[in-house]
A and B are shown apart, each in its own frame.
Chain A
């Protein structure tokens, strides 16, 4: 047990049936202060893992540690410092948003004065008195996050937190999590199947597939350790026509659709050079984008 870890699991196993393991020897190490992305395609075992981390699915062995405490031994006091949002948010639809938060206040002995501040934080202050059954999907999701945030936790466990949010909402939540992480040093554990989202938010990442952990580590280590190529995409007029000609010069060039040409590159300096060359060939460049080659890697990791 490592006390610098917010979450630690040792060979976590779970099976719903005799023949198939939902989780297979999963050992997670989530450092304190990180935003940890828990990635996997649908049905990989993300939610099962989340449920085991909260004791909703009991583990046979004493192998889940939260904030340095054994879950099995310290339940339910261990939840004192943990906020969770797992699957769909748990909301009492017949109550108002305010009263939903009040239930948490009662159960945790929190001052009800915090309710309005938290509602404000997720942008629901105006709707606090309304019954939750009248809320939109995004509002419900935000209220769910508010319920997880209300007790000022040291660790946040969020399962697909941006599900059902519009793009603006996604950005808001992303910024909120970053802010909480930075200002209050809250460790955030997010599960998601949205690679893009994780890439933009997280400091650490792990990949689970069919119950097996495929990778875990910090985002900065990822490229080196996995030998990921960096890619740059150029938006041009007729990429397919230009592909053959460009390929003679840059053999990594590839037209992935009518307007997009992708190059692998090694150094940042390569980008203006390619741009210059393209322009020199009379090709109009209307946009340049760089990204890690996560998608291919992710597909590779989860295709077996």
Chain B
């Protein structure tokens, strides 16, 4: 038995001699590394990013370029060619009249194809390694010295790519044995490869064996739930078994009729095989859902050049309340939590590095942090993998949808019923996307999260419909009442103003603010007492009311310049907040604002000038100081800066000095930009910027302030220099002009 299979295989191997097959393998595996190497050398590409292993990145680039098109075509070519050796030379009747069972003959050929395909993938690896080595030498051999070749990871990837081709090969094998000419099975394969790649880009028919290799290169790192193979790779094996069975029956019984229909009972054999495959298909392709964990646990490891001294912290959003902290020991942390955490978006942080994450109690969350100078990334695993991946993809800015854009940009062009219809269409489109989502491991997000995400995603549209469109409509049809068709009602009912589970999401908080403004009949973003009264009277339950009041009062305290108005709002509405914690926080905040009143001493801070010397407000005693707080990454700051600089040219004298204080993290970022700024403005970089910003109550920049010659506050929150009032205040306060 084994002897015969070895004999059959040896004979197959001998037939390869002079068949050009080895050349096909070498050429196919050589092309991509050659092109990549030449391109990289000619282009003179530099790789500064050290967060990932360069060997791995470059080799995977080779495989990516190879696997979605060249590799399937190569497989088809190999299989068709192997069968052509027999078809062309009448070989079948020769080998079939030898005392070797047809099973061995059939399998031997397929084995040969498998070995050739593996050889091709391995040759590609060798050529890629060679190419990278050559490239590395043109760059002085840096890559070679710095990094080890992650050979196990790469071989594991190659193995998966190999397996992903099995189904395709078996299908083509059955086809090539059946159809004696070269062109037809090759063309069928070629067309199918292209069709599958087009369809899988629309997420259609991704289960076709032709799509499997490209799916593997799309998910290079493989499973994140410790499964050896991804589901499409398992499916590839199932396809292989099905088509090997069908192909073998055809081969053994010499024709479809004899294989499956003569006598008619044989059809059950075929049906049995198909049913068996269908069961496998169902088991493999059935999306799985993570089961809740018996406890709530967060753990992780950090890969970083720095040693991180901070603790790991899990925060509740939106207020960044600490849920739990865990010490980091040897770049690892582990903590459990006993309370109840409602499902939603949380933040986790290590020092200044913070990432949002979907989480709830009875979840496990393992995080791998990659922290380097150039790139900070996290990889999640645990019970909420699918949820996090889905959330990220839904929130991604890359999801540009033309219909969506057109709907928002062209509201005036729609009649109410058209608009409502479009809204319903968009929401169901998004819901469909959410329903169809599975990860590369075929994990589906949990129902609770799906329901929540659907709500979150529809909020934007309900907001459009309830708050945005009516305003536009009123503008163009001042005398008409807006009537939406009744079909929209079910959608409208999905979101209410009392859904506390959504409070964690900013989009819902915005919706609440807009809706309450709308219901109270005041324009958005105004600190009208009508609005506050409305909320106190109507917003429920208490958590919602507290949340809305808190954010609105907080905004009002930060932004209202008139201290008596501000104190009026604070005194009247802070008591309406039921949470004591929030009340205290708001009161504190207002107190802080009051401390910035005119005539109060300006808090002390220390900064560094362009010469690297320390500077404080004391250095400018005897002069008024106009301050611009900015940062290099802040767009609005940069827009204001020319006005500020212009005023500096005009007004700088012995009475008045202009200073720009940067709150950049990186000193060099500041230095580069500050060098180009007006020489009339003193350029400073805040040391201990957190202290500086807190002591001046700065929550957003740009911020403009005026300090008098005695170091007392004139205004902690000036209008912007682009506004007339800024100059007016200067004239009035500094030069006593009226």
Contacts and interface: CB of A to CB of B under 8 A. Distances in A.
A94 B100 contact: no
B17 A106 contact: no
A106 B90 contact: no
Interface in B79-96: 85, 88-96
Given A106-B14, A107-B8, A58 B258 contact: yes
Which 10 pairs, one residue from A and one from B, show the smallest C-beta to C-beta distance?
A: A90-B94, A90-B90, A107-B98, A94-B18, A80-B99, A79-B99, A106-B11, A84-B97, A103-B11, A106-B10
Given A79-B99, A91-B89, A56 B15 contact: no
A92 B98 contact: no
A56 B93 contact: yes
Given A58-B253, A94-B19, A76 B98 contact: yes
Q: Which of B7, B15, B19, B98 has the most C-beta atoms of chain A within 10 angstroms of its own C-beta?
A: B98
26 contacts: A51-B93, A54-B93, A54-B97, A56-B93, A56-B97, A58-B254, A76-B98, A76-B99, A76-B100, A76-B101, A76-B102, A84-B97, A86-B93, A87-B90, A87-B93, A90-B93, A90-B94, A91-B89, A92-B15, A92-B91, A94-B18, A95-B14, A95-B15, A102-B14, A107-B8, A109-B3
A245 interface: no
A148 B697 CA distance: 99
A55 B96 contact: yes
Contact of A79 (B7, B97, B262): B97
A225 interface: no
B14 A99 contact: yes
Interface string B12-26: 001101110000000
A82 B93 CA distance: 13
A77 interface: yes
Given A55-B96, A76-B99, A92-B89, 13 more contacts: A57-B254, A58-B258, A76-B98, A76-B101, A79-B97, A80-B99, A90-B94, A93-B88, A93-B89, A103-B11, A103-B15, A107-B98, A131-B18
Contact of A95 (B17, B88, B100): B17
Interface in B1-42: 3, 7-8, 10-11, 14-15, 17-19
A239 interface: no
A88 interface: yes
Interface in A84-126: 84, 86-95, 99, 102-104, 106-109
A57 B14 CA distance: 27
B98 A108 contact: yes
Contacts of B8: 107
A91 B88 CA distance: 9
B108 to A, nearest CB: 10
A30 interface: no
A104 B98 CA distance: 8
Interface string A30-49: 00000000000000000000
Interface of B: 3, 7-8, 10-11, 14-15, 17-19, 85, 88-102, 253-254, 258, 262
B85 A92 contact: yes
A108 B17 contact: no
A147 interface: yes
Nearest to A104: B98
Contacts of A102: 14
Contacts of B7: 106-107, 109
Q: Which of A58, A78, A106 has the most C-beta atoms of chain B within 10 angstroms of its own C-beta?
A: A106
B485 to A, nearest CB: 64
Nearest to A148: B97
Contacts of B15: 92, 95, 103
Nearest to B254: A58
Contacts of A94: 17-19, 85
A57 B7 CA distance: 24
Contacts of B97: 54-56, 76, 79, 82, 84, 86
B644 to A, nearest CB: 82
A79 B98 contact: yes
Given A56-B254, A90-B89, A107-B100, A95 B95 contact: no
Nearest to B85: A92
Q: Which of B91, B99, B101, B102 has the most C-beta atoms of chain A within 10 angstroms of its own C-beta?
A: B99
Nearest to B253: A58
Nearest to A81: B99
Contacts of B3: 109
A56 B96 contact: yes
Q: Which of B19, B88, B93, B254 has the most C-beta atoms of chain A within 10 angstroms of its own C-beta?
A: B93
A90 B88 CA distance: 9
Contacts of A108: 98-99
B12 to A, nearest CB: 9
A150 to B, nearest CB: 11
A54 B628 CA distance: 97
Nearest to B103: A76
Contacts of A95: 14-15, 17-18
Contacts of A80: 99
A147 B14 contact: no
B95 A107 contact: yes
A71 to B, nearest CB: 11
A92 to B, nearest CB: 5
A27 to B, nearest CB: 23
Given A92-B15, A95-B15, A99-B17, A77 B88 contact: no
B424 to A, nearest CB: 59
Nearest to A103: B11
Contacts of A55: 96-97
Contacts of B98: 76, 79, 104, 107-108
A54 B92 CA distance: 12
Nearest to B8: A107
Contacts of A57: 254
B251 to A, nearest CB: 12
A89 B89 CA distance: 8
Contacts of A76: 96-102
A90 B14 CA distance: 16
Contacts of A87: 90, 93
Contacts of A78: 99
A93 B94 CA distance: 13
Contacts of A106: 7, 10-11, 14
B90 A88 contact: yes
Contacts of B18: 94-95, 131
Contacts of B89: 90-93
A144 to B, nearest CB: 9
A158 to B, nearest CB: 12
Contacts of A51: 93
A95 B85 CA distance: 11
A79 to B, nearest CB: 5
Q: Which of A78, A88, A90, A131 has the most C-beta atoms of chain B within 10 angstroms of its own C-beta?
A: A90
Contact of A103 (B14, B92, B254): B14
B665 to A, nearest CB: 68
Nearest to A144: B94
B93 to A, nearest CB: 5
B85 A107 contact: no
Interface string A273-285: 0000000000000
B178 to A, nearest CB: 16
Q: Which of B14, B258, B262 has the most C-beta atoms of chain A within 10 angstroms of its own C-beta?
A: B14
Nearest to B91: A90
A109 B10 CA distance: 11
Nearest to A74: B99
Contacts of A90: 89-94
A102 B92 CA distance: 16
A80 B4 CA distance: 13
